[in-house]
Structure 1
Amino acid sequence: MLTEPEVEPWSIPAILPSNEEVDEPEDKGAIDPLPIGASPRALAPTPSTRLPCPVLGQPLTWLGCHGGSGATSLERATNIGVALSQSWPNPLLGWPAEVALVCRSNRAGLDAAGRMLHQWVANQIPSVRVVALVVMADAPGRTPRPLARRIRELSGVVPQVHTVPWIPAWRENPFQGSPLLNKTTEAVLALVKQES
């Protein structure tokens, strides 16, 4: 009986650089988790922060996968959690162990999220639980097909993926709350409570 080769859960393929639709590869057992053109150094573990958590008692860390991801905006708009960028939280220093990864919906943001998820799934980051991926829109309008496909690929690794559309009001009034953010925050907090 022939079976399909198993795909390792950390094998998160990078999206292709062109806007053209490309057929999926036949051999799904050898998918490269690195973004095209990236070096293997890109998979080196991101060091945990060595700073104590600035606000104790928060339920989760909004972890920005890259600069400008929107993690700080989520922290300030929801008044829940602590924002951290590109460095895993250290629960021994008071940081919440439950993490919601945050990235922009562009290629660079989604590839950064893929690298962070690779580290977590490969158990390179002890004592941290990723409960969700929050994908913040990088522009108004629909997400292009290749980027939407990348979001679906990443969704196979995390318990939940939440997409937050472009919020025009943030251009003039940053950190303003919205009903959609409330729904996203409630869903992420429900996962945190389940994990606890």
Structure 2
Amino acid sequence: MDYALAIDGSPEEIPGGTGVLLLHPSTGETDRIDTDFLKQDTDRFLVISTRTTAREVMQKLDYYDVDEDRAVILDTLSVERGYSRRSSENVHYVGAPDDLDGIVEQTEEFLANTEGKRRVSLDSITELAYYAGEEATQDAIRAILALLDEHDAVGLFHLATEVHDDEVVAAYRDLFDGVIDLDEDDSVSVDF
């Protein structure tokens, strides 16, 4: 199954199983790319949020006019920070961003229990690595990429470049089929 990819300079379509790495400066405005990725040619999508709460993710989806009815959100922050939370059919929680097993498990559950064209957005790898370490995070990313392949889904994974050593960025880059590089001036270069 092929998926439309509406990002300047990228292929018009990518096959199911494709993982895309979004490299960006810490201050980069990634919301537009992220929501464009989720907005079209999608039956259901999972947002794995390690930087914002489920409520903030819903606000972002609403602001960018993304169909919230197709969304499932995995909030990794609210439990650890003691925020009130209400699980629902479309909002799930893990205890903290370092609960990599829980994140992989929730991703597998989403992909196993939904049909059609599915997308996953993980914002961000950088936060996972901060909490769980680079090696464990890379293992978790490999597991999620394998799930995308198994279930014919696609994913977009955020990584803040200046937070990681060049070798670490290169190691993540090697895991992905495509790389979108967002510069500080919001220009985009793409490598597939």
Task: Name the TM tier (shorter chain).
Answer: 0.3 to 0.5
Over alpha carbons, which structure has the higher Rg?
A: 1
Structure whose residues are more often helix by fraction: 2
Higher strand share: 2
Q: Higher RCO, 1 or 2 (CA under 8 Å, sep at least 6)?
A: 2
